[in-house]
């Protein structure tokens, strides 16, 4: 039997993570795209979720969240805590593509906008942000797909509470443990299709933009 509750919970977590991280990615990515002695350290700290084992991240989340609550809800074994952990571990997936998009903007365009008398905010809003939309789209697709499949941190921080923290990846694990290969296969296929659709839409929009630029 297909665990639709776990699928909807995974989609809810992925969407909320995306909604929170895209504005953060736009701002932090722009900040990191600027040169400075702090840049390499900031990028190294940002990349830690990519290299640290999920168990290590999960342990530190449990230590940080233990005994704490937000809006009256405990952070350990709750959707709120799971969302906060998801936002943190997905930071590099959202920020790095956006940062690279900002860095790819030709310096001549930035200088021309500056010479034209545009303020820093105007240059960002009218010039740099529209030119970085490919990175924003890529970061959004990667964040969404990665959140759907996250397992280790979700298990340690959220546990497996049905309707609260039991995402599709946890449900797949539980079904494998009980030798329900048909159920695990069905859930895996659903996650595969959702991730494939999200990434395909992202690539399709990017391809349409390239075709439009060539015609212009």
Residue 160, classified by CB atoms within 10 Å of its CB into exposed (0-12), middle (13-18) or buried (19+), is middle
Give the domain extent around 185.
4-215
Q: Give 49-96 pLDDT, tens digit per residue.
A: 999 998 899 999 999 998 888 888 889 999 999 999 999 999 999 999
Q: Angle at the Cα of 209 (from 121 to 196), degrees rounded to 5?
A: 105
The CATH number of the domain holding residue 122 is: 1.10.3720.10
Pairwise CA distance, residues 19 & 104, whole Å: 24
How many residues are there in the chain? 216
Q: Give 96-149 pLDDT, tens digit per residue.
A: 999 999 999 998 998 998 898 888 899 999 999 999 988 999 899 999 999 998
Residue 65, classified by CB atoms within 10 Å of its CB into exposed (0-12), middle (13-18) or buried (19+), is buried
pTM beyond 0.85 = yes
Contact 92, 25 (CB under 8 A): no
Where does the pLDDT of residue 36 fall: very low under 50, low under 70, confident under 90, or very high at 90 and above?
Answer: confident
In sequence order, what DSSP letters do the residues of 62-103 get, joined into one string? Answer: HHHHTT-EETTEESTTSHHHHHHHHHHHTHHHHHHHHHHHHH
* Token code pair at residue 141: 């697709």
- What's the chain's average pLDDT? 88
The domain total for the chain is 1
For 166, which DSSP code?
A: -
Inform me whether the pLDDT recorded for 39 exceeds 90: no
Pairwise CA distance, residues 146 & 86, whole Å: 10
Pairwise CA distance, residues 104 & 100, whole Å: 6
Pairwise CA distance, residues 67 & 130, whole Å: 43
Q: Helix, strand, or coil here: 165? A: coil
């Amino acid at each position: 039997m297909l665990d639709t509750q776990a699928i909807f919970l995974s989609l809810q977590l992925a969407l909320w993570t995306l909604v929170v991280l895209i504005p953060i990615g736009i701002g932090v990515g722009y900040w990191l795209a600027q040169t400075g002695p702090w840049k390499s350290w900031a990028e190294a700290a940002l990349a830690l979720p990519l290299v640290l084992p999920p168990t290590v991240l999960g342990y530190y989340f449990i230590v940080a969240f233990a005994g704490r609550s937000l809006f009256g809800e405990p952070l350990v074994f709750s959707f709120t805590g799971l969302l906060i952990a998801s936002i943190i571990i997905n930071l590099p997936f959202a920020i790095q593509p956006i940062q690279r998009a900002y860095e790819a903007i030709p310096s001549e365009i930035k200088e021309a906008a500056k010479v034209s008398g545009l303020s820093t905010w105007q240059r960002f809003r009218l010039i740099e942000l529209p030119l970085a939309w490919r990175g924003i789209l890529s970061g959004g697709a990667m964040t969404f797909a990665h959140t759907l499949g996250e397992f280790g941190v979700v298990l340690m921080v959220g546990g497996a509470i049905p309707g609260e923290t039991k995402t599709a990846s946890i449900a797949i694990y539980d079904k494998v443990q009980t030798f329900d290969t048909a159920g695990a296969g069905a859930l895996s296929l659903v996650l595969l299709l959702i991730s494939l659709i999200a990434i395909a839409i992202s690539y399709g929009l990017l391809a349409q933009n390239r075709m439009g630029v060539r015609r212009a």
